[in-house]
Amino acid sequence: METLYCVLPYFLLGAAMAGPVFWWLVQHWRKVGALNNSSHAVILWLTPTCAEALGECAAPGHLRRMSTEHIAKRLNRFDFPATEHKPDVAQYSSWPTQAELLHSGNYSDLKSLQENLIRDAGEETPSNPKRPTKYVFGDLLALLMTIILLLLAFISATVIAKHPDWCTNPGSIPCTEGVTGVTSISFDTDLVFDFNHKTPISDEHTNRAKTALTRLLNQYNDIKFKGISAQTDPIGSEISNRPLADKRAEFVRKLLVDIVKEDDKGLFVDSTVSNSIINESIPSAADYQLWNTCFKKFQLDVNEKPLEDLPADRNPNNRPLCLQSVGNIAPGQHFPACRRLMIPKKHSDDSTVRVPRAEVRSYALRAEYFRELTACLAPMRHVLITFEHTQKAPSRADDHSSTDKGEK
C-alpha cells in the first residue's frame, strides 16, 4: 500500500498535465467530426447532387478556399438529373462564405447569413442550423475531464509536498518479513550461448548474462538455490546435447555464485543442483506445438532441407527418422532423430576442381533455412533456476521475464 501511495501522486500529476492536450484533441475531433457529418446538411443550397458534382471539394475545409469560377466549372461539367436544377450564381457564390463559418464553428453568424440569403431569395426561412448534440456533449465531457484532472493534480501535489519521504526515503517502506517460498525462473540462453557453444563466445555475452541474472535476483532476498537445469532443442543426439546442457548449467551456477558473493556450501541447498533436461523424447504441450510449426515451415515446406537423419549409432532410443517424419507430433510421441545437414568436402587436392554453382546455391539455402529453424526453436532453449527465498521486498515487481533470445 505504501508503494501505491508513492507512485499514485506522480501518476495523477502526469495525467493532469496531459489535460490541456486532451482538451485540444477533443476540440479537434469535434471540429473534424462536425465537418464530416454535418457539412451538406447546414450549407444552404448544397444538395447531395451538388456535393457529388464538387467531389472532395464539397468538404467545408476545401470549399471555403474555392472561388465562384471554380465552383461554376465543376457544376457545369456535371449532368444534373431532370428532377433537380443547377443552383444559380447567387446561390453557389455564397458557399465559400458559409463553409468558412462552418469550418470555424461560428454557427451564430452562419445562421444570420443563411436567414439573409433566404430572405433575399424570397424563400421560406428554414429551421436554424444547430450543432449536433453529440458534439455539444463532447465539449462538456472534455471540460469535465479537464476539471477533474486539474483537481487531481492539485491533490497529488499537496500530498507530495506534505509527505516527501514516502518516495525519497526507501527505509520508510517496511518489508514483509518471514515470507518463505520457492520460485522457478526461466533464463533464456539466446544471445548468451551461441549455437552449439557450452559457454558464451565473448565477454560481452558473459556480461549480458550476468546483468540479466542480477536483475532477476534483485527481486528477492535470502536466496538459497535448489537446482539449475539446462534444456536444449531436440536437434542432434543425446550424446552431444546432454554435455552441452550440463556445461551451460554449470556456467550459470558459477555466475550465480559470483553474483551472490557466497561460496557453494552456503549458497546452495544441496550439492546436486546442476543437471540437464534434454528435450528430445516426449515433448511438453508447448514444445510439440512449437516443433510442429517450425519443422513444417523450415523442413517440410522447403526443397533444400536443412536437416538429415541421425546415424543409427547416435539414435539409441530408436526415434523416428528425420526425413520420414511428416510433422504433427502429438503428446507421448518422440521427436524425429534429426541433425544438421553435413556438407561434403571435396575429395580432390586439385584446387581447380570447383563445386557446381547449383550445388553451392543449394547448400547456401540449406544453411539459411537451418539458421531460421534454430531461431524459431529458440523458446525451447533455456536454463531453469529454482531457489528458496525467505524475504521478498514488496516494492519490487515479480518480474520473471527472461533475457534476450539467441541460439541453441
DSSP codes joined into one string, 149-195:
HHHHHHHHHHHHHH-THHHH-GGGS--BTT--EEEEEEEE-TTTSPT
**pLDDT attached to residue 38:** 44
Q: What is the pLDDT of residues 56-98, one digit of tens each?
A: 888 888 899 999 999 999 999 888 888 888 898 888 999 999 8
Is it the case that residue 242 has pLDDT exceeding 50? yes
Percent with pLDDT over 70 in the chain: 65
What is the identity of the amino acid at 37? N
Residue 256 pLDDT > 70: yes
**Is the pLDDT reported for residue 281 higher than 80?**
no
Q: Is 219 helix (H, G, I), strand (E, B) or coil?
A: coil
Higher pLDDT, 31 or 111: 111
Q: Using pLDDT thresholds of 50, 70 and 90, give the confidence band for residue 258.
A: confident
Q: pLDDT > 90: what percent of the chain?
A: 13
User: Which of 89, 99, 97, 90 minimizes the C-alpha distance to 51?
Assistant: 99
Q: Are 53 and 70 in contact (CB under 8 A)?
A: no
- Answer whether residue 226 shows pLDDT above 60: yes
Asked whether residue 273 carries a pLDDT value surpassing 70, the answer given is no
pLDDT at 398 over 50: no
Distances (CA, A) of 85 to 46, 48, 49: 12, 12, 10
Residues paired with residue 338 on neighbouring β-strands, in sequence order: 309
Q: Which domains does the chain have, with CATH numbers?
A: 2-134 (no CATH), 176-344+357-408 (3.30.1330.60)
Query: Which of the pair, 305 or 137, is modelled with greater confidence?
Result: 305
pLDDT at 265: 46
Is the confidence at residue 176, as pLDDT, over 90? no
Whether 286 has a pLDDT exceeding 50, the answer reads yes
Map residue 285 onto helix, strand or coil.
helix
Hey, which of 233-242, 294-303, 358-367 has the most confident mean pLDDT? 294-303
Give the pLDDT confidence score for residue 67 in this predicted structure: 92
- Looking at residue 22, what is its pLDDT? 67
Tell me the per-residue pLDDT of 87-111, one tens digit each, with 9 for 90 and over: 988 889 999 998 898 888 888 888 8
Examine the pLDDT at 238 and tell me if it is beyond 90.
no
Give yes or no for residue 274 having a pLDDT over 70. Answer: no
Measured in whole angstroms, the distance separating CA 162 from the mean position of its chain's CA atoms is 39
